[in-house]
């Protein structure tokens, strides 16, 4: 019983797509490209992200 449960948990935990995470800006740009290819209404142009500001505690992360 325990072995079956462990195998089931291992199988379910491996589900999904592996890859890099997209920022909201990159996802919006990709959504615009996909909509234009599919001849659907194009979402509004996303705003470019603000340049990351350095913080004094950043080296600790």
Q: Determine the pLDDT at residue 34.
A: 94
Q: Indicate whether 2 pLDDT > 80.
A: yes
10-57 pLDDT, tens per residue? 777 766 666 778 889 999 999 999 999 999 999 899 999 888 888 888
Contacts of 31 (CB under 8 A, 6+ apart): 43
pLDDT attached to residue 32: 94
Higher pLDDT pick, 34 / 6? 34
Spell out the residues 6+ positions from residue 25 whose beta carbon is closer than 8 angstroms to its own.
46, 47, 48, 49
Distance, CA of 49 to CA of 23 (rounded, Å):
9
Is the model more confident about 60 or about 40?
Answer: 40
């Amino acid at each position: 019983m325990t072995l079956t449960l462990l195998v089931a948990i291992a199988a379910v935990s491996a589900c999904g797509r592996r890859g890099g995470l997209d920022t909201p800006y990159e996802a919006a740009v990709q959504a615009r490209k996909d909509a234009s290819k599919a001849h659907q209404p194009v979402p509004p142009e996303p705003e470019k992200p603000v340049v990351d500001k350095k913080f004094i505690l950043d080296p600790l992360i």
